[in-house]
Amino acid sequence: MNNSYLSGATLLLAGALFSTSGHATTLLLDLGFNPNIDSPVNSPFHQELGEAAEAFVVWNTIGADANPVGILSGDLLAADSGSVAATWALVTGFAPGGVVTWNETPGTISSSNLGSVAMYGTGVYAGNSVGKDAVFFGVASAMDNPGVVGVVVTGLPAGDYTVFVVADNTYSTNNTQAQMATAAALSGPDVLTADVLRSDSAEILNYGIPGSRSADWNDPHTETWVDTVDYQALSITLEEGESLLVSARGLLEETGENRGFLNAIMITPAFDSPEEPWDGWVDTGWIGTLWVSGDWAWSQNFGSWIYLPQEYITTDGGWAYVFR
């Protein structure tokens, strides 16, 4: 048996029996040509999860092409290990009347560092923030035909996910730029033929004070990420073999921007926090990274809770229970 100590947890695991139907993972996508190299933990995902997210710093980027043409696709690396965990493809379309019609090929996708407005150089938007640059598609003034830009992720294991979406036009000098963010489960990887099985959508204001549509560039929300203003946290369930579509579109009812913008996407397994404070992440090596609290640990690799009470652990071995 291979002994492994969990530092900071007063637990000794000499061996364990595990059963799992798949290894969940966290994926981070910076959808601009200026990678987030200043602070890889500056994102809504890292802000919401706090210390629990500090080990996840591998961001996937689209490269340095400011105006990519054709089908953009490739591998996605896990945010903690950097190993290939899924694949992705960029998609575009239009949404007349709010109903999306996808293009056969993405066509010319605009990508820009944006961020020229003064407020977008401070706080969470400082430096090469994931919220500053973006990919976008459509015609700004096409109120009857708003543009949509999205990413299809294939290869994720079945499970419940939280999807953080940043969709902001940080070049704008007004806040009539609201976006509709959507996370959807697809029956397959091709948006032209797949069925939408379930979805979750919500509006992102772009900037300002919720409810007032304030255009004050000095609004204090730039010091932190604010849900519904800078980003949305969407919930989605994937069954085995399903793909995940994350998209943003300009809002038909808005009088300003009608292009779809995507700055960043963060996909992570959804789980409820225990009532007691957590003790921290531990890299065990042979059973992956655990977040330990008393008799329970959350396994990022397995995407589930592990029950391993201390009385089950001895210097000769031990038992643990992993929930499917």
- pLDDT over threshold 70, residue 291: yes
Looking at the DSSP bridge assignments, the partners of residue 60 are 29
More confident position, 278 or 151: 151
* Spatial contact of 24 and 54, defined as CB atoms under 8 Å apart: no
Provide the CA 64 distance to its chain's centre, in angstroms: 21
- pLDDT over threshold 90, residue 28: yes
- Report the C-alpha gap between 15 and 269 in whole angstroms: 26
- Report the C-alpha gap between 34 and 92 in whole angstroms: 21
- Report the C-alpha gap between 34 and 42 in whole angstroms: 14
* Spatial contact of 88 and 60, defined as CB atoms under 8 Å apart: yes
Tens-place pLDDT, residues 186-200: 999 999 999 999 999
Tens-place pLDDT, residues 196-231: 999 999 988 765 554 554 444 445 567 788 888 889
Tens-place pLDDT, residues 122-154: 788 888 888 888 888 887 777 778 889 999 999
Which residue in 314, 315, 276, 317 sits closest to 297, CA to CA?
276
| Residue labelled with tokens 């921007």 | 257
- Report the C-alpha gap between 192 and 155 in whole angstroms: 18
Q: Please, what is the average pLDDT of the chain?
A: 75
Q: What is the pLDDT of residue 71?
A: 46
